[in-house]
């Protein structure tokens, strides 16, 4: 029997439907669901340029004060990136990461390593294994100078630093992350990126929309991708960023959204609110 016919003859629709429903239910329990009002407000702002006053935005003076703090706090790490060099390969980026954990943070003897993940497309930190992973390939190609600086402050300046900040505390969860830490920490990492840039940017909008289109309108991959291009633009760089957001939103299923990337939007107000409340307390901010 033809392999395709054999597969069709043994296909159990009810079993497949049940698996889909279980996946969606568990994903919603673990990662939450997009908020309809937030989704529609972001969509309306992208279409008209008119922002919803209910969508949180930090005060400009707080952004400027935080940028000044971050510039000083992370200067040792960022000095590892040569100012004159414009682009970096994955291998060059990995060497700079290794230099930082060895010479700047001095944590390589604790077991921390940097590796290039074969087939990977995104950078990540695994505190439980003390691994910093860089992707073998990037949709946007080599790192620009600012790309690499932002990646350093995101992965090492926030994720690694949080994990190593309490070395003598025996509670393992404080090193690997307490339940739900991703929402605040991912947003904090993005805020620190803004501190380095000195510019406030609406982060998480694109990913929130990609998830929302799938969640509320059952759009498949191509339809979400084309809708997002109409909103964000069609130059080569934007196409790559949009593709990445849709790919992450559907996580390989091509059909229904994984809500994990809501973390890049949710908690944003929590992180900025914390900074705003403690901006004049350097001990807490640092």
Task: Determine the Cα–Cα distance for residues 164 and 176; give it in Å rounded to an integer.
Answer: 9
User: Which has the higher per-residue pLDDT, 7 or 143?
Assistant: 143
What value does the mean pLDDT take over residues 261-267? Answer: 79
The Cβ-side half-sphere exposure at 98, using a 13 Å CA radius, reads: 10
User: Which has the higher per-residue pLDDT, 55 or 232?
Assistant: 232
pLDDT in tens, 51-109: 787 777 778 888 888 888 887 888 999 999 999 999 999 999 999 999 999 999 998 88
pLDDT of residue 166: 62
- What 3-state class would DSSP assign to 127? coil
Structural tokens at position 93? 């980026």
Structural tokens at position 233? 């633009």
pLDDT of residue 63: 82
For residues 137-176, one letter each, b for 16 or more C-beta atoms within 10 angstroms of the residue's C-beta and e for the rest, the string is ebeeeebeeebbbbbbbbbbbbbbbbbbeeeeeeeeeebe
Q: Given a cut of 80, is residue 237 above it in pLDDT?
A: no
pLDDT of residue 88: 96
120 contact partners, CB below 8 Å, separation of at least 6: 133, 134, 135, 136, 137
Task: Determine the Cα–Cα distance for residues 257 and 218; give it in Å rounded to an integer.
Answer: 9
Average pLDDT of the chain to the nearest whole number: 82
Q: How far is CA 173 from CA 126, 133, 180, 184, 206, in A?
A: 13, 21, 12, 16, 31
Q: Given a cut of 70, is residue 118 above it in pLDDT?
A: yes
Q: H-type helices in 34-180, by residue range?
A: 36-48, 60-73, 75-78, 90-99, 145-154, 161-164, 173-176
Q: Given a cut of 60, is residue 152 above it in pLDDT?
A: yes
Structural tokens at position 81? 């990136």
pLDDT of residue 119: 82
pLDDT in tens, 168-214: 555 555 555 555 566 667 777 877 887 777 666 666 889 999 999 99
Round the CA-based radius of gyration of the chain to a whole number and report it: 21
Look at phi and psi of residue 218 and say left if phi exceeds 0, alpha if psi is from -120 to 50, else beta. Answer: left
- 7 pLDDT band (50/70/90 cuts)? very low
- Which phi and psi angles does 37 have, rounded to 5°? -65, -45
Q: What is the pTM of this model?
A: 0.62
User: Which has the higher per-residue pLDDT, 41 or 68?
Assistant: 41
Instruction: Please answer whether residues 197 and 152 qualify as being in contact, where contact means their C-beta atoms are separated by less than 8 angstroms.
Output: no
The winner for highest mean pLDDT among 6-15, 115-124, 148-157, 269-278 is: 148-157
pLDDT of residue 9: 46
């Amino acid at each position: 029997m033809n392999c395709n016919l054999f597969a069709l003859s043994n296909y159990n629709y009810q079993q497949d439907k049940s698996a889909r429903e279980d996946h969606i239910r568990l994903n919603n329990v673990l990662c939450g669901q997009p908020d309809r009002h937030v989704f529609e407000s972001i969509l309306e702002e992208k279409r008209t340029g008119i922002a919803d006053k209910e969508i949180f935005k930090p005060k400009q003076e707080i952004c400027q004060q935080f940028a000044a703090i971050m510039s000083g706090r992370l200067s040792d790490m960022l000095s590892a990136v040569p100012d004159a060099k414009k682009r970096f390969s994955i291998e060059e980026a990995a060497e700079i990461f290794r230099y930082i954990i060895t010479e700047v943070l001095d944590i390589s003897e604790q077991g921390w390593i940097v590796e290039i993940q074969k087939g990977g497309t995104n950078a990540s930190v695994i505190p439980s294994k003390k691994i910093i992973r860089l992707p073998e390939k990037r949709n946007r190609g080599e790192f620009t100078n600012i790309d690499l600086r932002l990646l350093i402050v995101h992965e090492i300046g926030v994720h690694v630093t949080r994990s190593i900040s309490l070395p003598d505390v025996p509670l393992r969860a404080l090193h690997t992350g307490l339940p739900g830490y991703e929402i605040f920490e991912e947003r904090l990492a993005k805020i620190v990126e803004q501190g380095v840039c000195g510019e406030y940017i609406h982060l998480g909008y694109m990913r929130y929309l990609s998830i929302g289109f799938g969640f509320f309108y059952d759009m498949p991959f191509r339809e979400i991708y084309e809708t997002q291009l109409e909103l964000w633009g069609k130059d080569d760089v934007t196409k790559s960023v949009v593709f990445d957001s849709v790919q992450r939103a559907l996580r390989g299923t091509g059909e229904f959204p994984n809500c994990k990337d809501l973390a890049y939007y949710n908690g944003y107000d929590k992180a900025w609110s914390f900074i705003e409340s403690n901006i004049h307390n350097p001990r807490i901010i640092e």
